[in-house]
């Protein structure tokens, strides 16, 4: 993999990036300078720069049904813009949502373009009804620390998954505003699922990712968890949720623990739940994993791409990862390893004339790598 381009336009550290699914090669990046830069991989220079505000931008996402609509979070506010209506450097938002009390870490839109979720430093998640332009639900009393990441579950339209710096992964029913399942990676039996010498850092959840709707046939109903101890967990969420016994909270907790014990090598446990640990023994990260994403180029979802504080990017072969659940073979899961000079803040992939990996590191210049 070779660095092919440097995307210049930001004045301070680039924090995040997203790639268009409808228009291959179109990428939006955001930074601590409060700007969003738009790039087309077919062109040399930045297409245009949106000056959103004075605060650092923490997250970006497209409206799932209309990628002309983009949501930008900065501070405790989410702003909605229609890119087609941006003219003469007038960056007036269509909508502005100020429901979060604390700083927002991630904002995401569901596949039906009806709800927006914003996860914040207070551990709360605000579910915003996009069509009604109002708050729909507040998810609280689940995380005891910063909620760092949130994802809607496309095959369960009223559920979201969140991860936090309390080492918890929580599945919520946001129609009722309550947790359905809590996995605590900070528990001793959860840590034993991976090698004890992995990393001294806590198993904070920094990033989570679920497949898009068009990837489900290939990948199944999984969730990928990027952890602070350098481990990436691939979890069969449907088997986890199906194994739950809602009438007995005790049995439900036991199910969580036995899932971790049965997770070595991805072998199903007695409840049928399946886990796979991608750690340093498989060529994985040796420091906190900051971001995970499924590849959008070629056969969408074929690769899982992760970036970390060990200044490296790992490209994992998803088909081999899922095969290892059946056969317990963890060899050759790592497809590609890329050593960088800086820590990775965020990454995304986009197809253009080539298969591109876009990386936001701890500098203001966004790097593009071509995967051959």
pLDDT digits over 49-106, tens only? 999 999 999 999 999 989 999 999 999 999 999 988 766 566 788 899 999 999 999 9
- How far apart are alpha carbons 131 and 185 in whole angstroms? 36
The arithmetic mean of pLDDT across residues 166-192, rounded, is 88
Nearest residue to 286 (alpha-carbon basis) of 370, 325, 372, 228: 228
Counted residue by residue, the chain has a size of: 372
pTM > 0.85: yes or no: yes
**Residue 265: pLDDT over 80:** no
Cβ neighbours of 272 (radius 10 Å): 15
The arithmetic mean of pLDDT across residues 189-197, rounded, is 52
Which pLDDT belongs to residue 273?
Answer: 60
Work out the percent of the chain whose per-residue pLDDT is above 90: 64
The arithmetic mean of pLDDT across residues 155-171, rounded, is 96
Are residues 4 and 354 in contact, defined by beta-carbon separation less than 8 angstroms?
Answer: yes
Question: How does residue 266 score in pLDDT terms, banded at 50, 70 and 90?
Answer: very low
Hey, which residues does 236 pair with through a beta bridge? Answer: 222
312 or 86: whose pLDDT is higher? 312
Share the mean pLDDT of the chain: 86
Which pLDDT belongs to residue 345?
Answer: 96
3-state secondary structure of 259: helix
Lowest mean pLDDT among 23-27, 252-256, 307-311, 358-362: 252-256
Question: How does residue 189 score in pLDDT terms, banded at 50, 70 and 90?
Answer: low
Nearest residue to 235 (alpha-carbon basis) of 250, 214, 213, 255: 255
**Residue 172: pLDDT over 60:** yes
Lowest mean pLDDT among 62-66, 99-103, 156-160, 262-266: 262-266
The arithmetic mean of pLDDT across residues 324-332, rounded, is 66
Question: How does residue 344 score in pLDDT terms, banded at 50, 70 and 90?
Answer: very high
Which pLDDT belongs to residue 89?
Answer: 63
255 or 214: whose pLDDT is higher? 214
Lowest mean pLDDT among 31-45, 49-63, 327-341: 327-341
3-state secondary structure 37-92: EEEECCCCCCCEEEECCCCCEEEEEEECCEEEEEEEEECCEEEEEEHHHCECCECC
pLDDT digits over 226-261, tens only? 999 999 999 998 888 777 655 434 333 333 333 333
């Amino acid at each position: 993999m070779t660095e092919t381009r440097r995307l210049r336009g930001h004045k301070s550290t680039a924090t995040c990036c997203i790639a268009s699914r409808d228009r291959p090669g179109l990428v939006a990046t955001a930074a601590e300078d409060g700007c969003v830069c738009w790039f087309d991989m077919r062109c040399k220079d930045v297409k245009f720069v949106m000056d959103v505000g004075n605060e650092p931008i923490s997250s970006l996402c497209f409206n799932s049904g209309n990628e002309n609509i983009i949501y930008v979070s900065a501070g405790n506010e989410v702003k909605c813009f229609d890119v087609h209506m941006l003219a003469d450097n007038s960056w007036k938002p269509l909508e502005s949502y100020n429901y979060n009390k604390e700083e927002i870490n991630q904002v995401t839109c569901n596949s039906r373009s009806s709800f927006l979720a914003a996860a914040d430093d207070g551990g709360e998640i605000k579910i915003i009804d996009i069509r009604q332009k109002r708050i729909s639900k507040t998810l609280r009393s689940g995380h005891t620390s910063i909620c760092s990441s949130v994802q809607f579950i496309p095959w369960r339209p009223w559920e979201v998954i969140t991860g936090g710096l309390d080492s918890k992964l929580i599945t919520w029913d946001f129609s009722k505003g309550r947790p359905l399942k809590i996995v605590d990676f900070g528990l001793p039996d959860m840590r034993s699922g991976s090698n004890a010498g992995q990393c001294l850092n806590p198993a904070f959840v920094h990033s989570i990712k679920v497949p898009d709707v068009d990837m489900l046939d290939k990948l199944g109903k999984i969730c990928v968890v990027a952890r602070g101890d350098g481990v990436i967990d691939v979890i069969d969420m449907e088997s986890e949720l199906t194994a739950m016994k809602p009438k007995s909270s005790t049995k439900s907790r036991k199910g969580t623990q036995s899932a971790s014990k049965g997770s070595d090598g991805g072998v199903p446990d007695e409840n049928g739940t399946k886990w796979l640990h991608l750690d340093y023994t498989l060529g994985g990260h040796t420091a906190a994993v900051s971001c995970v994403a499924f590849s959008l180029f070629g056969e969408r979802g074929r690769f899982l791409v992760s970036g970390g504080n060990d200044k490296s990017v790992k490209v994992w072969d998803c088909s081999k990862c899922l095969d290892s659940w059946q056969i317990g073979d963890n060899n050759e899961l790592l497809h590609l390893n890329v050593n960088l000079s800086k820590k990775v803040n965020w990454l995304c992939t986009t197809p253009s004339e080539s298969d591109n990996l876009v990386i936001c590191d701890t500098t203001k210049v966004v790097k593009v790598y071509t995967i051959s």
